[in-house]
Amino acid sequence: MYSHAMSTSDKLVEATRELLWDRGYVGTSPRAIQSRAGAGQGSMYHHFSGKQALASAAIERSAEELRAAAEAVLGGPGTAYERVRGYLLRERDVLRGCPVGRLAMDPEIVADETLRAPVEATVGWLRERLAGVVREGVRRGEFGPELDPEAVAAALVAVVQGGYVLARAAGSPAAFDTAVRGALALLGPGREPAAPAGVR
């Protein structure tokens, strides 16, 4: 399943990431991690002290990847509107949901300060990064001066996370696409997104 070039610890972290995404913390058993990673119990406990340590490493990696993917668009070329639009329309596995956002709804992760911390930090980083882009757009006259960058950023994050919920409930990425188009219409009246956001 994983490349032979990957270390055992990387295979264990990747397996844990996927299981957390699909099954949540309770459904991510050490045996399931070992089976998916193709690693024995001895290997797992050689590299990690237990399930919590593995989950922590997995969540940190998911958070790093989400930030990198967002920054590639938000820190890229184009106007503020184009960068926000690019972020909202970037390719996602919509029906699978957000690998970080879904963890915020997992009671075991939310109750564990160590596991919750990277989720909270990543959501906070994303809100601030989006607010910075919106602030830039206001300063350059792309957006009206009445826009509150922090409030807009919070709304955009909510649209993406809520869009995942709508899509999963409907069993179709179209619901996500509709939410994104609505946000873009409010942010830039008269501008149309070029393509739907969901992965088909």
Is 48 a residue whose pLDDT tops 60? Answer: yes
20, amino acid identity: L
91 is written with which tokens? 């390719």
Are 72 and 115 contacting, i.e. CB atoms less than 8 angstroms apart? no
Are 7 and 34 contacting, i.e. CB atoms less than 8 angstroms apart? no
Is 197 a residue whose pLDDT tops 80? Answer: no
Task: Please give the residue that has the higher pLDDT: either 191 or 9.
Answer: 9
Alpha-helix residue ranges (DSSP H) falling in 112-199: 113-139, 149-170, 174-187
Is 191 a residue whose pLDDT tops 60? Answer: no
Is 195 a residue whose pLDDT tops 60? Answer: no
The region of weakest confidence among 1-5, 14-18, 43-47, 140-144 is 1-5
Q: At what angle do helices 51-74 and 113-139 cross, to 10 degrees?
A: 10
The single residue listed with the structure tokens 């350059």 is 140
Is 199 a residue whose pLDDT tops 50? Answer: no
Is 1 a residue whose pLDDT tops 90? Answer: no
Percent of the chain past pLDDT 70, that is, above it, reads: 92
Task: Return the pLDDT at 45.
Answer: 84
Which residues sit opposite 92 in a β-bridge? 198
pTM of the model: 0.87
Q: How far apart are the first and last CA of the chain?
A: 23
As a whole number, mean pLDDT of residues 25-41 equals 91
Domains of the chain are: 8-187 (1.10.357.10)
The region of weakest confidence among 16-20, 94-98, 191-195 is 191-195
54 is written with which tokens? 């593995």
Are 149 and 138 contacting, i.e. CB atoms less than 8 angstroms apart? yes
Q: Give CA–CA dist 81/133, Å, rounded.
A: 8
Task: Return the pLDDT at 149.
Answer: 97
The secondary structure element, H or E, covering residue 19 is: helix 8-23
